[in-house]
Amino acid sequence: MLREILTSVRAIVVLLLVTCVAYPLLITAIGQLAFPAQAGGSLVRQDERLVGSALLAQKFTDPRYFWPRPSAVEYGTVASGASNQGYLSQKLLDAINSRRAALGPGAPADLLTASASGLDPHISEAAARFEIPRVAAARQVDPARLEALVAQTTERRQLGFLGEPRVNVLLLNRALDRL
C-alpha cells in the first residue's frame, strides 16, 4: 500500500511540474518569441512615453479627439464588465437617450451602447465617420483629411470574413496628433 501511495505522489508531482511549470513557461516563451508586442500587452508609445494599450479603451472627452464606445465601468480595467441591464431596463434606455441627446441624431449604435467588457478599444467605421464633423470643427481641419485618416486606420475583417471593419480609437487619435 505504501508503494502505491508513493507512486501516486510521484505522479502528482510530475504532473504538477509539467502542467504548472513546464507548460506555462513553454507557452510564455513561444508567445514572447512569436508575438512579442501582443505578449507584452500591445503597448502604444509616443516619444518614448507610454500612452496606452491597443487592446484597451481609454476615455477621451476632448472634442479634438475621437471618442470610444461608452463604458459601464468608466474604462476601469480591474472591474471590467457590462452593466447587465436588459433591453427592457429603464436605466439602460435613459442612458441611451442621454447619449443620443448629447451626440445628436443619427448616432451609430456603438456610440450609444457600452461594450460587453466596457473596454472595447474599437468603434465601427460608421461611428468614426459620425465623429468627423465634431473633430474637424474642434481642430479646424478639413473633414476630407479626417476621412482619409479614418480610412487609413480602419482594420479590415480578419481572414477576410471574420468580424466587421473597425477603427482602434487610440491608434486613430495618435495618428490624428501626427497630422
pLDDT digits over 96-105, tens only? 899 999 998 9
Is pLDDT above 80 for 124?
A: yes
Is pLDDT above 80 for 146?
A: yes
**What average pLDDT does range 79-106 have in this prediction?**
84
Residues 82 and 118: beta-carbon distance below 8 Å: yes
**What average pLDDT does range 2-15 have in this prediction?**
94
Report the distance separating Cα 179 and Cα 176, nearest Å: 5
| Contact residues for 89 (Cβ-Cβ < 8 A; gap 6+) | none
| Contact residues for 15 (Cβ-Cβ < 8 A; gap 6+) | none
Amino acid identity at 113:
T
Report the distance separating Cα 29 and Cα 103, nearest Å: 46
Report the distance separating Cα 132 and Cα 85, nearest Å: 30
Residue by residue, DSSP assigns 10-37 as: HHHHHHHHIIIIIHHHHHHHHHHHH-HH
Is pLDDT above 80 for 45?
A: yes
Q: Which of 28-37, 44-53, 129-138 has the lowest mean pLDDT?
A: 44-53
Check residue 75 and give its pLDDT: 76
Residues 101 and 90: beta-carbon distance below 8 Å: no
Is pLDDT above 80 for 78?
A: no
Q: Cell 452593466: give the residue.
A: 83
Residues 120 and 73: beta-carbon distance below 8 Å: no
Check residue 85 and give its pLDDT: 78
Report the distance separating Cα 132 and Cα 138, nearest Å: 10
Q: Cell 507512486: give the residue.
A: 7
Q: How confident is the model at residue 107 (pLDDT cuts 50, 70, 90)?
A: very high
